Amino acid sequence: MAPDIFRFKSLNNKEKYMLAPIVEIFCDIDDFCKKYINGQLSKALPSDQNIRYRQSMMSISEIITILILFHVSHYRTFKDYYRECILLNSHNYFPNAVSYNRFVEIEKNVLPYLTAYLLSKMGNKTNYYYIDSSKLAACHNKRIFNHTVFKGIANRGKTSMGWFFGLKLHIVINHKGEIVNFCITKGSIDDRNVLLKLFSRLRGLAAGDKGYISGDKANILEAQGLKFITKIKSNMKKRMLTVFEKFFLAQRCIVETVIGQLKALCHIEHTRHRNPDNFVMNLISGLAAYCISPKKPSINLSKFQHKFNAVIPS
């Protein structure tokens, strides 16, 4: 199916285009939601409580589609995107679209379905993985003491780029650039604390930066079948690595490229959240938008095989 193009005008009246297969994305989400809801209803226990819920005019699939499409649009604020792109220029795609205020109220109701959809689009286990973390700032450093939205949730942390106030995103990707696992922690949490959790069910070879150096955890991972390698510090003894392991470790920048795309293209980080729920919805939908994107940064392992005339370890 050819991708749909819908045109919209920005505030400066310059025409822009967002190229996205809207129908394909909606059909994929709708098929998943129907299967997921039917599976949940079959496991639900009967209830005698007569609780009245206000039914929304928009379906769960429509809400999730709108949330994901925002991360492939040219808009940086969801309010402008929804009012201009959805209500005006894409009314044919979403004829039952509610007002912006109503959408903000009901979007949090689809979080379980959105999260399940994201998990269904996670990458395959390829035995080759990279891990890294990135800050998700909740506010500018000058507004830390006046910030109240994430009070008690986020805290101050430090990265190689300096101090920040917010949370951390930890992700594991395979050599194809697909997200295999992820978690969110407070900004002050050490990266090594989530190492075992993120690699709990993985086998093969993994690499990370110097912030993940831990002999004890590396031994635990190796006992479960995963060899974890990093570059060493200047005061550490050299570790013997095979030719392939040296090549694999040298390609670690791929995970930084993935994080760069998540922030620059999918806009998973901004400091304008007025509610922690909005932060979670923005992050999960941004990760889902990346997972369904057809082009991802990847490593061509056959390049190593061709250069060194060696067999890639399985």
Q: What is the per-residue pLDDT across 173-200, written as a single tens digit (0 to 9) for each?
A: 999 999 999 999 999 999 999 999 999 9
**Mean pLDDT value across residues 132-158:** 90
Place of tokens 């008690």: 152
- Judge if 217 and 144 occupy the same domain: yes
Vertex 244: Cα angle to 241 and 250 (nearest 5) = 85
What is the pLDDT at residue 46? 66
Q: Count CA atoms within 13 Å of residue 298 on its CB side.
A: 11
Vertex 279: Cα angle to 151 and 268 (nearest 5) = 125
Vertex 224: Cα angle to 296 and 173 (nearest 5) = 10
- Judge if 215 and 246 occupy the same domain: yes
What count of other Cβ atoms lies within 10 Å of the Cβ of residue 73? 20
Single out the residue of 191, 198, 197 nearest to residue 214, CA to CA: 191
Q: Is residue 183 part of a domain?
A: yes
Note down the domain range covering 20.
Answer: 4-43+54-120
> End of a domain among 97, 120, 143?
120
Look at the chain and report how many structural domains it folds into. 2
**Largest Cα–Cα separation, the chain:** 69
- Judge if 63 and 113 occupy the same domain: yes
- Residue 127 is classified by DSSP as S
What count of other Cβ atoms lies within 10 Å of the Cβ of residue 125? 15
Single out the residue of 60, 67, 53 nearest to residue 32, CA to CA: 60
> End of a domain among 120, 143, 162?
120
What is the pLDDT at residue 1? 41
- Judge if 139 and 14 occupy the same domain: no
Q: Is residue 283 part of a domain?
A: no
Place of tokens 């269904």: 120
- Judge if 19 and 76 occupy the same domain: yes
- Judge if 84 and 193 occupy the same domain: no
Whether residue 159 is predicted with pLDDT greater than 70 in this model: the reply is: yes
- Judge if 80 and 172 occupy the same domain: no
Vertex 305: Cα angle to 301 and 310 (nearest 5) = 135
Whether residue 234 is predicted with pLDDT greater than 90 in this model: the reply is: no
- Judge if 30 and 176 occupy the same domain: no
What is the pLDDT at residue 313? 64
Give one DSSP letter per residue of 259-294, joined into a string: HHHHHHTS----S--SSHHHHHHHHHHHHHHHHT-S
What is the pLDDT at residue 89? 84
- Judge if 229 and 252 occupy the same domain: yes
- Judge if 185 and 236 occupy the same domain: yes
- Separate counts of helices (H) and strands (E) for the chain: 11, 8
Q: Is residue 203 part of a domain?
A: yes
Report helix, strand or coil for 175: coil
Query: Are residues 147 and 139 in contact, defined by beta-carbon separation less than 8 angstroms?
Result: yes
Length of the chain: 314
Q: Is residue 88 part of a domain?
A: yes
> End of a domain among 120, 152, 177?
120
Q: What are phi and psi of 51, to 5 degrees?
A: -100, 130
**Mean pLDDT value across residues 125-145:** 92
Full-model pTM? 0.87
Q: Is residue 260 part of a domain?
A: yes
- Judge if 163 and 302 occupy the same domain: yes
Q: 25 pLDDT band (50/70/90 cuts)?
A: very high
Question: What whole-number distance in Å separates Cα of residue 149 and Cα of residue 276?
Answer: 7
Q: Is residue 314 part of a domain?
A: no
Q: 214 pLDDT band (50/70/90 cuts)?
A: confident
- Judge if 304 and 158 occupy the same domain: yes
Q: 309 pLDDT band (50/70/90 cuts)?
A: low
Q: What is the CATH number of the domain that holds 252?
A: 3.30.420
**Mean pLDDT value across residues 14-33:** 77
Q: Is residue 281 part of a domain?
A: no
Q: Is residue 280 part of a domain?
A: no
Between residues 185 and 308, the one the model is more confident about? 185
Q: Give percent of the chain with pLDDT exceeding 70.
A: 85
What is the pLDDT at residue 180? 97
